[in-house]
Structure 1
Amino acid sequence: MKYLRNKEEKRFFFSLSFLSLLAISSNFLINRRAGVITLLICCAFSLTIYLYNRTRYQKIEELTNQIDEMLHGNQRLELHAEEGELAILSSQIAKMTVRLQEQSSSLKKEKEHLSSSLTDIAHQLRTPLTTLTMIGDFLSEPELSEQRRQELTRELLNMLKRMDQLITILLKIAKLEGQTVQYQPQKILIHELLTDSLQPFLIPLELKEMTVQLQGDHQAGLSIDASWTQEAIGNIIKNCIEHSEDGSILTLSYEQNALYTEITLSDTGKGIDSEDLPHIFERFYQGKNHHKNSFGVGLSLARMIITQQGGSLTAKNQQSGGALFTIRFYEDMLK
């Protein structure tokens, strides 16, 4: 019998057999009829235990075979057990199996995402590195004029600055995707948040003669990480400036209600091309009218920062023209 492979079961079986033989022998010495009755009772008792153990071990064997099939490629595990400790064990194994399958699927997706990320990063760095190599070759020419040397030096410095910006952005993306950013939410006035987000872009706004309109209750506040949220809003502002005509209007407005706090940023430019609209938040995506200095990661970075703080970021075109970006932080997510 298979269940006798279990040392405890074997010990129990032989102990029970010894006690049964002892009881039968004792009763036969006292009275033959009592010995026969004791023998029949012990046989029935032993048969009952045997049938019970055989059924239990069949269920355990079935459970073992199903787990073995799952481990060898069968992704579906169907466990059937009645009430009792075996049913509890089956239920826990089923939960563990589902969790392991989810983790396996998650690891597979992360592996694919990592491979895609490395490919994207390599592609983004290859272009400036190729340009730097070419500039280096030109600068090594002995007959190069001083004016051309200065032009190439400026281009070299600009390219190095661009690579430094790209690497900084890639490091931020890596931190966000690795869930290693420790957000420190604190109460801040939304008007102050938007004003601070505009500061780095005052000169570009002035150069393009753009008008900024800031609308909303000056007393409205929001509990978020100010530094990272400014980074996100700044990327959206940068996108609006790059895709707006000279003399256009940039509008930043906000409002609060019982459900959420909404911040909108809109421009009066040409808007987002219908083919680009579904992809503008994808990393390294560059639309038809992308800016020459754009890396295609600003809006992706902005969405990651906002969603990781429990918010949402969407984009659409206005009927009057221009793009409209909407940020929402829901009240139940902020508690």
Structure 2
Amino acid sequence: MDVKVMFLSNIEVKSFIIKYIGLFLVSLMLSLGVSFLSVNIIKNKVVENNQALIGNIISENPNMESNIVSIITQGNSKENLELGKEILEKYNYDNRISLRNEPIITSSIKSLFNLNALLIFVIFVMIFALVIYYLKKIYNDIKDMTDYVYNSSEGRNFEMNNKNQEGQIGLLKTELLKMTTVLKEKVELLNKEKIFLNDTISDISHQLRTPMTSLIILNDLMYEDIPKETKIEFLDKIKSQLKRMEWLIKSMLKLSKLEAKVIDFKNEKVNINELIKRSLQPNLIPIELKNIDLSINGDKNIYYIGDINWSTEALVNVIKNCVEHTPKGGKLQINYDQNPLYSEIVIKDSGEGIDKNDLPNIFKRFYKGKSSTKEDSVGIGLAMAKSIIESQNGDIYVKSEKNKGAEFHIILHKTYGD
């Protein structure tokens, strides 16, 4: 758009032009009024002068009254105009006479000057008032924005006036509000990231402390004079601890990436039946060893949009948790279905259930239930599952009662175009 067109379409410019035109019309009317008064003043002086002239002539020549009066009142007799010119020229009274030597003008000039001076003063005051009005308005808006920026930079709340006003200043205020909001969000995000990084480092340090201590003790014992069988046993324990540390570090890194939202999840068509089959593979041996009755129910053609690899990681952890808490000869049911809004996977075990006090914290990382008997449990699997599912526009929650098993519900919401 042309700059000139944008300028003229501006609400503040429009308002100023309208008020200026109104002021011009008022000034024009005042000017016409002053002109009328000026003419009226001169008219009064001319009438007064003619009255004095007729009085002097008629007092000397009464018989000339009708002729003189008709000339003055009607102004249509110019028979003796040249004679009058000749007579008055003898006294230097003609078109070249100075204004200050003309008695009518001289007697009227003060009144005319005062009227015009008053007109100029009134017009000046009106223009000055209009300019001051707009300057004050602009100054107040600038001061308001300056105060807002200053208080925002100091971390104090400040309510800006006329946030929704029209025009370029209103647009500037809106953009300023947007900018400060974005900056505040970024500052908050940076603070959260600092806290998150600090917590992550603390968690990794805490979780590695126990296996590291075990490794140091076992390593020191290896220097002792001990039987070969004991050394082999210690080496097996060291190997086991190293594997545990490797798993823990990998899991922590995955969880940290998930919670920091730095992973790009794929948006592909995922068959839920295939997803469940993949997720069961790492858990088939424990299921078989514990003789758990496994049942899977659902339409094999149901799908959702997501990342099958990360989704498998989530389901593996949920199924692993259910298998670990299911007794020998227990049951594990996996049901899945869909409706127009979402797809749902329900994983139900017949284990000891979850205490109601533990339910609100079950998906927090490194949380171990008060009734948990697994010493090597870290409490990271369900937290990772929750992060993965929520990162794919999903939800997860659990229903459970003590001694009645646990029921995990995984909701995968559909997006437009699914």
TM score, norm. by length of structure 2: 0.67
Q: Which sits farther off after the overlay, 41-50 or 95-104?
A: 41-50
Q: Which residue of 1 aligns with 2:392?
A: 309
Match in the other structure for 2:277: 195
Query: Which amino acid in 1 is paired with 2:190?
Result: L
Say if 2:346 and 2:407, in contact at 8 Å, map to a contact too.
yes
Q: How far is 1:307 from its partner?
A: 0.8
Equivalent residue, structure 2, for 1:104: 187
- Partners of 1:302 and 1:41 lie apart in 2 by 78
Equivalent position of 1:22 in the other structure: none
Question: Residue type matched to 1:256 in 2?
Answer: Q
1:78-227 correspondence to structure 2 within 5 Å: 78-80=160-162, 82-141=165-224, 143-227=225-309
Larger radius of gyration: 2
Could you tell me whether the CA contact under 8 Å between 1:197 and 1:230 is conserved in 2?
yes
The DSSP-based 3-state class of the residue aligned with 2:291 is: coil
Task: Tell me which amino acid in the other structure corresponds to 1:325.
Answer: F
Structure 2, unmatched stretches of 5+, are 1-108
Residue aligning to 2:81 = none
Runs of 4+ in 1 over 6 A off after TM superposition: none
Q: Which moved more, 1:40-49 or 1:129-138?
A: 40-49
- Which of 120, 125, 146 aligns to 1:64? It is 146
Deviates more, 1:211-220 or 1:148-157: 211-220
**Equivalent residue letter for 1:136:** N
SS in 2 for 1:332: coil
- Deviation, 1:267, is 0.7
Number of aligned residue pairs = 304
* SS of equivalent to 1:75: coil
CA distance in 2, matches of 1:107, 1:44: 54
How many Å apart are 1:123 and its aligned residue?
0.4
Q: Distance in 2 between matches of 1:199 and 1:71?
A: 55
- 3-state SS, counterpart of residue 236 of structure 2: helix
Equivalence map 1:194-273=2 (5 Å): 194-273=276-355
Q: Which residue of the partner structure matches residue 299 of structure 1?
A: 382
Q: Which runs of 5+ in 1 are unaligned?
A: 1-30
Kindly state the Cα deviation for residue 38 of structure 1 after the two structures are TM-superposed. 4.7
What is the Cα deviation at residue 69 of structure 1?
Answer: 2.2
More displaced 10-residue stretch of structure 1: 280-289 or 313-322: 313-322
1:140-191 deviation line (CA, Å, top 9, x unaligned):
22x2221221111111000000000001101111221222222223223322
Q: Which moved more, 1:306-315 or 1:215-224?
A: 215-224
Q: Distance in 2 between matches of 1:181 and 1:293?
A: 28
Q: Deviations over 1:245-273 (max 9, x none)?
A: 11111111111222221111111111112
Q: Percent identity?
A: 35
CA gap 1:326/1:101 in 2 versus in 1, 3 angstroms = same
Matched-pair contact (CA < 8 Å) for 2:395–2:411? yes
Moved more, 117-126 or 76-85: 76-85
Q: Secondary structure at the match of 1:303?
A: helix
Q: Quote the offset at 1:233 in angstroms.
A: 0.5
Could you say what the CA RMSD is over the residues aligned between the two structures, in angstroms?
A: 2.3
8 Å CA contact retained: 1:250, 1:265: yes
Q: In the alignment, what sits opposite 1:28? A: none
Aligned with 1:312: secondary structure? strand
In 2 relative to 1, CA 73–226 (structure 1 residues): closer, same or farther, beyond 3 Å? closer
Equivalent of residue 362 in structure 2, options 280, 283, 288? 280
